[in-house]
Structure formats: C-alpha cells, structure tokens
C-alpha cells in the first residue's frame, strides 16, 4: 500500500472523472486514490463503477466539506500517512504530488500546492479576494499563505485525525487559519494548475464574491470562538491533544 492517498471529491464530474483517474492509474501508480462521489446527479458514479475505480459512493450530496471528510475518514482508517485533496475536474496536476510529499518530510502538517510561491499573482477580482484572505490569515496568525484558496492540499496523519474525528472541519482557508492557531505547521510548494476543460465551476463571479466574504468574516471573527470537538473525538477513539 502506498503512503499517500489521493482523495478526489467529485460532484457531477461525468465529463472529467475518467480522464483524471485514468491519468493517475497509468502514470502515477505509486500513489493510491479514492473517488468520493458526493451524491452526483449525473453518471459520475456509474462511470466509476464501470471502470472499477476505487469509490466511496455517498447516497446524498454532503457538499465539499462532507465529501472530503469522508475521504479523510477512509484515509485515516486505512492507515495512510498522507492524504491529498485533488479536484475531480482536471485542474490539479499530479506531477507535483511527489514534491509536496517530500516537503511533508521536513516536519510539516499541511503542504499547499501553491500557484504563487515563485510566480506573481495576477491582478484579477478573484485574485484580489485571494490576497485579502492571505492578509486576513497573516493578521490573525502571523503566517503568510500566498495561495490560501488552492484546493490542492496535503495533510499529515495528525491532520487526518483532526478531520476524520471532528464534526466541524472543512477544507477551506478558514480551517487552515484555525489549524495554524492550534500549532499546525503549514508550507507551500510551487505548482501549476490547468483550466477546467468540461463542466461548470461552482465559483461563478457572484458565488466567488460570496465565498470570499464568508471566508474573511470567518477568519477575522468566527475562528476566534471556535473550539475543538473533544467529546466527539473521545466517542470515536481519537486523541484529545
């Protein structure tokens, strides 16, 4: 068994999922993967079953947070050392996974596949929102995260346990901010990402603006009152650290 599990949350990705998973199977067999079908209404699950992909088939749509948490539970219970969030739309490129894995060996808890470690952030409205989130994280934690909205993130086993055994974790910048406050060590590795080829992204301009506003409010205010769910962790056999 590999020590890295690629967790692929997928909702209505029938036009992309085959290309994404086949690329991993044929060219990156050193990593394990699992597709988390998040109650898709299209043929995503049907394609995965037909192709014999490793599949967690959720009966209802839980959203990105719930789908990703299901994948982290699977990784934790199957004793993987690292798990990486990997989009099912084809934007994330697997050739950068090994570099992120190598960075983890330096003692980090989370490694983010960042588009802006050595490259400048473009001046667009969407990137303006990303810059504001970076500023909010730095203001509240003292840590500079150059690409906080990147969905390509690798987690250590300790972080896997946090996500798997707690109720209130989602793979979003506000959770990264919270974990930094709890002592998590976070690094970034330069990656490149592709544009979505098929299907529609949830983050249209209106939803993107709402998302950025929600993240800023959460990082600047809500995270100050957030508490770890120790009772749930005890019930599920987790460490109370």
pLDDT tens-digit profile, the chain (241 residues)? 799 999 999 999 999 999 999 999 999 999 999 999 999 999 999 999 999 999 999 999 998 889 999 999 999 999 999 999 999 999 999 999 999 999 999 999 999 999 998 887 777 777 788 899 999 999 999 999 999 999 999 999 999 998 888 867 788 999 999 999 999 999 999 999 987 666 555 556 677 788 889 999 999 988 887 766 554 455 555 554 4
Is residue 241 in a domain? no
Q: Which domain holds residue 21?
A: 4-235
pLDDT of residue 103: 97
Burial of 130 (0-12, 13-18, 19+ CB in 10 A): buried
pLDDT of residue 128: 85
pLDDT of residue 199: 55
Q: Residues 176, 186: contact at Cβ < 8 Å?
A: yes
pLDDT of residue 76: 96
Structural domains in the chain (count): 1
Is residue 240 in a domain? no
Is residue 136 in a domain? yes
pLDDT of residue 109: 97
Name, in order, each residue with C-beta under 8 angstroms of 39's C-beta and a sequence gap of 6 or more.
11, 58, 59, 60, 61, 62
pLDDT of residue 118: 81
And the tokens for 198? Answer: 């098929």
pLDDT of residue 165: 85
CA-CA distance, 143 to 134, in Å (whole number)?
9
33 to 21, 22, 228, 232: CA distances (angstroms): 8, 11, 29, 27
pLDDT of residue 65: 87
Is residue 35 in a domain? yes
CATH code, domain with 71:
3.90.550.10
Total length of the chain: 241
Is residue 143 in a domain? yes
pLDDT of residue 238: 58
CA-CA distance, 163 to 231, in Å (whole number)?
14
74 to 1, 119, 172, 190: CA distances (angstroms): 14, 35, 19, 28
Is residue 54 in a domain? yes
CA-CA distance, 45 to 23, in Å (whole number)?
18
Is residue 31 in a domain? yes
Q: Report yes or no on whether pTM surpasses 0.95.
A: no
Is residue 47 in a domain? yes
């Amino acid at each position: 068994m590999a020590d890295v599990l690629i967790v692929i949350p997928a909702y209505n990705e029938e036009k992309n999922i085959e290309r994404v998973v086949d690329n991993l199977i044929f060219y990156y067999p050193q990593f394990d993967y699992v597709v988390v079908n998040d109650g898709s209404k299209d043929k995503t699950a049907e394609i995965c079953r037909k192709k014999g992909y490793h599949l967690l088939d959720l009966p209802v749509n839980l959203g990105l947070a719930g789908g990703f948490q299901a994948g982290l539970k699977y990784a934790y219970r199957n004793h993987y050392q690292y798990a990486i969030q990997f989009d099912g739309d084809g934007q994330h490129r697997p050739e950068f996974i090994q570099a992120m894995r190598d960075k983890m060996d330096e003692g980090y808890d989370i490694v983010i596949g960042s588009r802006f470690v050595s490259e400048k952030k473009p001046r667009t409205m969407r990137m303006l929102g990303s810059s504001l989130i970076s500023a909010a994280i730095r203001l509240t934690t003292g840590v500079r995260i150059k690409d906080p909205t990147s969905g390509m993130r690798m987690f250590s086993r300790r972080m896997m346990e946090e996500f798997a055994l707690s109720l209130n974790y989602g793979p979003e910048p506000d959770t990264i901010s919270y974990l930094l406050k709890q002592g998590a060590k976070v690094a970034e590795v330069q990656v490149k990402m592709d544009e979505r080829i098929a299907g529609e992204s949830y983050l249209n301009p209106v939803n993107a603006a709402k998302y950025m506003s929600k993240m800023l409010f959460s990082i600047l205010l809500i995270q100050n009152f957030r508490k770890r769910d120790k009772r749930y962790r005890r019930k599920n056999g987790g460490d109370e650290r």
